[in-house]
Copies of this chain bind each other. A is one copy, B any other.
Amino acid sequence: MKIAVDAMGADFAPDEIVLGAIAAAREYRCDIIIVGDEPRIRQILEKNGAGNLPITVHHASEVIEMTEQPSIAIRKKKDASIVVATRLVKEGKADVVVSAGSTGAAVAAALLGLGRIPGIERPTIATPMPNLTGTTVLLDSGANVDSKPKHLLQNAVMGAVYAEKILGILNPRVGLLNIGEEENKGNELVLDTYPLLKQATLNFIGNVEGRDISRGTVDVVVCDGFVGNVVLKFGEGLATALMTLIKREIAAQNWFLKIISALVLRTALRGMKKKIDYAEYGGAPLLGVDGGFIISHGSSKAKAIKNSIRVARDFAENRVVEKIRQSFSKDGEIYNG
């Protein structure tokens, strides 16, 4: 098992990326190829005593910045770390890529470098989200922002494979994200998607609403990438805001209650933070491309990268790409083979 880690392009690159790779190499004992500015990466490795770990460094001289137009940058910068890391997977030198660079660059690099699985029209980002009883997979969460009904159907099938293989949910419940539960509700896209999902060989439970995402009553939530991305980021912001509000409420109490609260709440908040923190979940796989590709949060620190590498390992070990390939015939008809 070899995991290619794109060390550049993220908010805290390359330091936090390399630290995450070191932690993962220690904990998961998988081989890691760190791709990026070799001298800088070696420096961080040496400083952290990573000499005996199964880590190699693969130099890449360029970086794709967050502000660049991804499709153009990917074509122009052939030695960008994300492009080189993807190439390693294409050439069979690595099993899966982990990148915390811009989502657009990741999608473009994967599409150009790995291509799509035959039959799949658009790749999709499957983001695991915590709910009251476990995890809900939300997809698409940002790869394809003008989806057609067929894309959503394909997302549903890929999401179900992911939920089964990675989250271990047998016969996952698939829901269509909508503004009401009734079949006749929604915009054009979901109205046209509903019958496709109903006919597919899926455990389709019908329309679900925004409030169902955190409830634990649905395992795979299917939506357009625009909606999914807004939901994901809104959830992040709202959770942060709520934590801040609780802390403020506590700070407003008298000194005695304040001290007691701080002691007592520390455990509770830490437990909760662990449940809702994206860093604990690691990356979100880009599904539909012909190779393993895990997208980590742009603000990933070492812990998030470490967990993304764990997701990448599980993704490759469970052969998710192969399972998706088997679920689609070449013309995109789903045959759940």
Contact = CB atoms under 8 A, between A and B. Distances in A.
A234 B237 contact: no
A142 B179 contact: yes
Interface stretch (A111-119, A204-212, A321-329): A204-212
A265 to B, nearest CB: 7
Interface string A227-271: 101111111111111101110011011000100110011011101
Interface in A291-310: none
B264 A187 contact: no
A265 B260 CA distance: 10
A52 interface: no
Interface of A: 67, 69, 131-132, 142, 145-146, 177-179, 182, 184, 186-188, 190, 209-215, 223-227, 229-242, 244-246, 249-250, 252-253, 257, 260-261, 264-265, 267-269, 271-272, 275-276
Contacts of A252: 271
Nearest to A251: B268
A223 B229 CA distance: 13
Contact of A237 (B186, B213, B245, B249): B213
Given A230-B227, A236-B211, A268 B241 contact: no
A135 B67 CA distance: 31
Nearest to A226: B187
The interface centre, meaning the residue of A264, A267, A276 with most chain B CB atoms within 10 A of its CB, is: A264
A307 to B, nearest CB: 20
A50 to B, nearest CB: 34
A171 to B, nearest CB: 24
A263 to B, nearest CB: 8
A91 to B, nearest CB: 32
Nearest to A242: B242
Given A210-B231, A210-B234, A249-B272, A188 B146 contact: yes
A211 B234 CA distance: 4
A272 B245 contact: yes
13 contacts: A132-B241, A179-B226, A186-B226, A187-B224, A209-B233, A210-B229, A210-B231, A210-B236, A213-B237, A215-B237, A230-B230, A261-B265, A264-B264
A329 to B, nearest CB: 29
A234 B241 CA distance: 15
A230 B210 contact: yes
A235 B234 CA distance: 8
Contact of A234 (B146, B231, B244, B276): B231
B257 A271 contact: no
Nearest to A141: B179
A153 B162 CA distance: 39
B261 A230 contact: no
Given A239-B242, A241-B214, A253 B268 contact: yes
A69 B245 CA distance: 40
A212 to B, nearest CB: 7
A31 to B, nearest CB: 34
Given A145-B187, A177-B230, A238 B238 contact: yes
